Amino acid sequence: MQLRKNLNLYLSGIVVFTLTILLLSTAFALDESLGNRIAKIFWFYKVIIVAGIACIPLAWMRPFRFSITDLLVLLYAGYTLCNDYFAGTIAPTRTSLFILIIVTYFIFRRLTTFAPLGFTHAALLLTGAIEAIWGLAQLYGFTPSQHSRFELTGSFFNPGPYSGFLVAILPLALYYTLTACRIARILSGVILVLLLLVLPATLSRGAWLAAIAGCGIVLGYYFHLYNRLKFLFQKHRLASFIATICIFLLVTGTLIGIYQLKKESADGRRLIWKVSSTLVASHPATGVGFGHFAGAYGEAQAAYFSATERPAGEELVADAPETAFNEFVQITTETGIIGLLLFLTIIFWAFKTARHPDNKVAAGVTGSLAAFLVFACFSYPFSVLPLLILFTLLLAQCTPIQRGSRWLSGIFYLFLLLPVYFLATGQQEREQAYKRWKSEQIYFNMQIFERTVDNYKKLYPLLKDQPAFLFEYGQCLSRTGQPEASNLILEEAARLSADPMIRNIMGKNYQTMKQYPQAESAFLKASHMVPNRLYPLYLLAKMYHESGQTDKAIATARLLLEKAPKVPSSAAEEMKRDMQKLIIDTQ
């Protein structure tokens, strides 16, 4: 009887381990014909079908009771989707992935309650070990980086998301190193060392702070630091007070040092949060719409810099971000205060239920979840699919196992197959569309626009929610003598992107059609969106000169000459020489 019980346990564990690895392997998906991010999305579409089907018999065999956290997740998902539907701001790809991520959360809920958590943690630690070894191989030149500007990216496109993936696993590795049996402790210790070797090399300050927070929770639990510190404070009040001041000064100094390490980057993020606050003020309850942060941000930053003269330091660090570099700010901006409160309630309830007496690995799970959330305060993990999958796994593990109704579990997971069927299956056409776009970009970069524009027109129905594609398509139309059609496409791109180049091309189209007031408006908006860029002012001065507005042309040319480019280049110097010539010729 005991042998049969153990055999069933290990067979269940193998199934859970395999399905968890399958979903986490999304991080490893690479395909040059699709690009790093898109390859991971289409791999995820494939594996979630397998995991979703597998969960139906698992739910029937060993049903679990739905928790308050589960209901809150469904409430948050329902609110976000309804908000987008009634506001008319649905972004198909982002919305589809959001729905499938909710499904993934419930798949992990099924897996984490079907077998002991050690099996899902083994899969998670193995994934972290593979990523750490991958990064070390890149540092020593054995494997190529996924980005031309960075040596260390792991399987990701950028060291930022890579560091976030590793740091969320670090506290769990530390927990098992301290508490597991001998063999598991050794293996966890090896993984811990690998993670600690790679993390500093990523130069991610957010990841370092996240590592301190997550590991601090684990160490606090293991050494009972709260009780010990409370005892010391009561017994040695003066010494404890002095020690607290010293620790405070040390932490402050460390934070200042981290800030100075990449001061311009930190100032840039502070500006993003500042401008985002104006969006929250104008859309406080329901936000600007899920997936529409970038487009709304571009408009808000243009309004911010056009309203009054801003400090030169802010103009210098301004850019066209795709995300808020703080998930709490982005959630508030996109879904409003209602969305933020719902999300915070999920997090609060997850931490609360994780402290259940039956959850024997609570410290490791909460440490990893805390590390992830701290990292989310400085980066964009919810915009990176493998990190979203990791977050759902950590969140699902916070709820303890409780047996429930077999019929309810079975019907619910059968119902979950519907979004998987409609959203994840039949993606071959879209995948081929992305591959054709990738191949067409070769001709686009060679400026063979006559050939490219017809092919982009065929791809438009499948890729019309991708701002980079819309920008390229709009530019093709512009360069093939179709300025009016180009502006219609670029208007769609502007709703999804903060890139001022979209407005520049629109301005040139208006200029071609002799619609000079509209051209002026487009160039001015582009200039205000990212005021440290010279090109919008260059185009504006040229347009004024062409339309006979000599005084404005000279004033704009002089303004450009006074500006220092953010990044000195030969193109900036050439624009300044042209402006000097324009002033001489018109005076």
What phi, psi does 403 have (nearest 5°)? Answer: -70, 145
CA-CA-CA-CA torsion sign (386, 392, 395, 398): negative
Pair 372, 390: CB distance under 8 Å: yes
Q: CB neighbours (10 Å) of residue 128?
A: 26
Q: Which residues pair with 150 in a beta bridge?
A: 147
- What is the rounded distance in angstroms from the CA atom of residue 64 to the CA atom of residue 264? 50
Q: Which residues pair with 403 in a beta bridge?
A: 64
> What is the SS3 assignment for 440-505?
HHHHHHCCCHHHHHHHHHHHHHHHCCCHHHHHHHHHHHHHCCCHHHHHHHHHHHHCCCCCHHHHHH
C-alpha pair distances (Å), 239 with each of 157, 225, 235, 243, 246:
49, 17, 9, 6, 11
pLDDT band (50, 70, 90) for residue 376? very high
pLDDT band (50, 70, 90) for residue 182? confident
- What is the rounded distance in angstroms from the CA atom of residue 227 to the CA atom of residue 229? 6
For the record, the structure tokens of 375 come out as 């990292």
What is the reported pLDDT for 451? 83
pTM of the model: 0.92
- What is the rounded distance in angstroms from the CA atom of residue 301 to the CA atom of residue 528? 7
What is the reported pLDDT for 260? 66
What is the reported pLDDT for 1? 55
Structure-token match 């991708």, residue found: 466
For the segment 505-523, the average pLDDT, to the nearest whole number, is: 94
Name the average pLDDT for the chain: 87
Residue 293 has pLDDT above 70, yes or no: yes
Least confident of 241-255, 259-273, 286-300, 471-485: 241-255
pLDDT band (50, 70, 90) for residue 261? low
Structure-token match 């598991």, residue found: 184
- What is the rounded distance in angstroms from the CA atom of residue 293 to the CA atom of residue 322? 7
What is the reported pLDDT for 4? 63
Residue 145 has pLDDT above 80, yes or no: yes
CA of residue 297 relative to chain centroid, distance? 16
Instruction: Give which of 165, 263, 251 is closest to 212, Cα–Cα.
Output: 251
What is the reported pLDDT for 89? 65
C-alpha pair distances (Å), 101 with each of 366, 396, 578:
20, 12, 52
What is the reported pLDDT for 404? 62
Helix 500-512 crosses helix 516-529 at what angle (to 10 degrees)?
A: 170
Pair 114, 377: CB distance under 8 Å: no
Structure-token match 């991080």, residue found: 27
Does residue 12 or residue 485 have the better pLDDT? 485
What is the reported pLDDT for 412? 80
pLDDT band (50, 70, 90) for residue 423? confident
Structure-token match 């932490």, residue found: 251
- What is the rounded distance in angstroms from the CA atom of residue 279 to the CA atom of residue 293? 9
- What is the rounded distance in angstroms from the CA atom of residue 360 to the CA atom of residue 117? 9
Least confident of 184-198, 214-228, 360-374, 458-472: 214-228
What is the reported pLDDT for 236? 67
What is the reported pLDDT for 42? 92
Residue 148 has pLDDT above 60, yes or no: yes
CA of residue 84 relative to chain centroid, distance? 19
pLDDT in tens, 547-571: 888 989 999 999 998 888 877 888 8
- What is the rounded distance in angstroms from the CA atom of residue 208 to the CA atom of residue 301? 30
- What is the rounded distance in angstroms from the CA atom of residue 93 to the CA atom of residue 294? 15
- What is the rounded distance in angstroms from the CA atom of residue 420 to the CA atom of residue 305? 44
Residues 6+ apart with CB under 8 A from 126: 21
- What is the rounded distance in angstroms from the CA atom of residue 196 to the CA atom of residue 459? 44
Count of alpha carbons within 13 angstroms of residue 414, beta-carbon side: 8
